[in-house]
Amino acid sequence: MNKGSTRAKHVDFIIIDFICVLGSMWLAFLIWIPEEEKKLFLNNYQALSLVMVLGYLFAVFFRPVHSGILRRGFLKELEKIILMNIFIMGVLLSYLFVVKITYIYSRMVFGLFFIFDVVFMTITHCIWKKVLIHKYSAYANQSKIMVVTYRKYLDDFLELINSNNQGFYHVVGILLLDDTLQPGEKYIDGIQVITKDGMLEYFRQNVVDEVYIKARKSDASSISNRFLSMGVTVNVTLNVFLSELNNVSLETVGDTTFVKTNINPITLGQQLVKRIFDIIISILGLVFTGLLTVFIAPIIKKQSPGPVFFKQERVGKNGRRFKMYKFRSMYMDAEERKKELMSQNQMQGLMFKMDDDPRITPIGKFLRKTSIDEFPQFLNILKGDMSLVGTRPPTVDEVEMYHLHHMSRLAIKPGLTGMWQTSGRSDITDFEEVVKLDNDYIRNFSLLLDVKIIIKTFGAVLGMKGSK
C-alpha cells in the first residue's frame, strides 16, 4: 500500500543505496589497486565514484526502482538490484567513452564494484525491510485508510485491501455510498461504519491518511472531489476517467489498479530537499533558541511565574496531533480568560485575535512583535511535526469547528511560516482568507515558492508587519 509518493517514502533506501554504491566502489579500489598506485590514481577514482552516484540518481528518478519494495520477495529484490547496477554501469561506461580515459581505470575494479554493490544492497535491503515491517506493524505508525464503496462490493473490497497488507496500514473506517446501514449498525468486521452525513465529524475526531474508492463513475467523481476538498489523498479504481482528476498516478493492490490523486503536487526531489533544508535550518534555529533562552527566560519568569516554554496541542498533517512549543508570552491564566474576551475577537471565523490582548505579558508583547516567541518551534521542525514553510498549525478546538472545505489545510505539515504569515498575519481578519491562502500554497507548491515565502518572512519580521 502506498504511503505517500513512491520515491519520497523510500528516502531511507536511497540513503542506504548511496552508502552501498560508495562503499562498494572504494572497497574494490582498496582491494585491487596496488598500494604504490593508490595515491597516483586517487583523484581519478574520486571522480568515478561521483559518476556512479549520479548514475544511481538517474536510476532512481527515471525508473521505479523502489516501487513496491516492501512487498517484494527475495528473488524479485535481487532482480531489481541487478538491473539497477547494470544501469549504473551503463552510465559509467558512457562517461568513460565520452571522456576517452578508459586506460586509467581497472576493469577488475568495475567487476568487483558490481559484485560488492549487488551483495551489499541485497543484504541491507533485506535487513532494513524487516526493520520497517516491524516498525509499521505498530498501530501508531500505520497509515490510516478508509474504504468507500457499496455494500455489495464491500466484502471483496476489504479482502483485496487486507490480503495485500503487511502491517503497513490499518482500515479505520467504511463509508457505504448506498446508505444501506441497518438500525444500530455501527461496525462491520470490527471497523467503524460512517455515513455521508457523518463524514465531517469523523474526520474532525480521527486520523485518515488515504481513502480507497470502488464506485460508479458518477459517485466516485463526486466523493473524490469531496475528499480532495478536505486535503485527503484519494485512490480510485480505474472506472473513473483519468482526465477528470488532477495529480494522477497509478497504484496497484494485488490485481486491482487504482488511480491516486491529491491536491498537493510535491515530488520526491522536492520532498527530499525540503526535509533536508528543514533539518539543517532547525538545528541552526535551536542553537539560537538556546542562546535566546539564557537572556529571555529570567524576564519571562520574573514578569509571570511559571514555565519559560508554552506547549499546546496542535493538529498536523491529516489530523495528527502534536505538542507545539513557544516561548511563553501570556500570563498563566490566559486560556481561562480567553472565554471572557471572545466578544472582542477581531477574526471572522474560527481563530481568535485581538489588539492589546490583556493576557499578554510585557515581554510577551516584545516576543510576539519580533516573532522571537516562535523560535522553540524549530524543535517541532526537527522532529518532523512541522516544516519551515507550510500552513498555520490549528488548535484542536478550531478543528472541531471546521467545515469540510477547511480540512484541506491539513493535507501537508504545518509550517513555522507560510502564505498567511507573509500576507499580513494579524492584519487578516477573515478565517476564510487564511484557508484560501493555505490552499493556494498547497495546490501551487514549489521550492521556489518556499524560497519566496522565506524571503518575505524575513521582511515581515524585520519590519514587524502584521505581528501583534
Residues contacting residue 57 through CB under 8 Å, at least 6 positions apart: none
Instruction: Give which of 134, 127, 11 is closest to 77, Cα–Cα.
Output: 127
Cell match 507548491: residue?
Answer: 445
Q: Which of 64-73, 252-261, 302-311, 346-355 has the highest mean pLDDT?
A: 302-311
Residues contacting residue 65 through CB under 8 Å, at least 6 positions apart: 59, 80, 84
- The helix (H) or strand (E) run that includes residue 315 is strand 309-315
Between helix 268-303 and helix 447-462 the angle, nearest 10°, is 20
Q: With 80 as the cut, is the pLDDT of residue 225 above it?
A: yes
- What integer is the mean pLDDT of 174-203? 84
Question: pLDDT tens across 229-241, in order?
Answer: 888 889 888 765 5
Q: With 70 as the cut, is the pLDDT of residue 278 above it?
A: yes
Give 161-199 as a DSSP string.
Answer: HHHT-SSSEEEEEEEETT--PPTT--EETTEEEE-GGGH
pLDDT at residue 384 in the model: 92
Record the cell numbers describing residue 72, joined without a space.
517484494
Question: pLDDT tens across 87-122, in order?
Answer: 888 888 888 877 776 667 788 888 899 999 999 999
With cut-offs at 50, 70 and 90, classify the pLDDT of residue 346.
Answer: low
Question: pLDDT tens across 50-60, in order?
Answer: 888 888 888 78
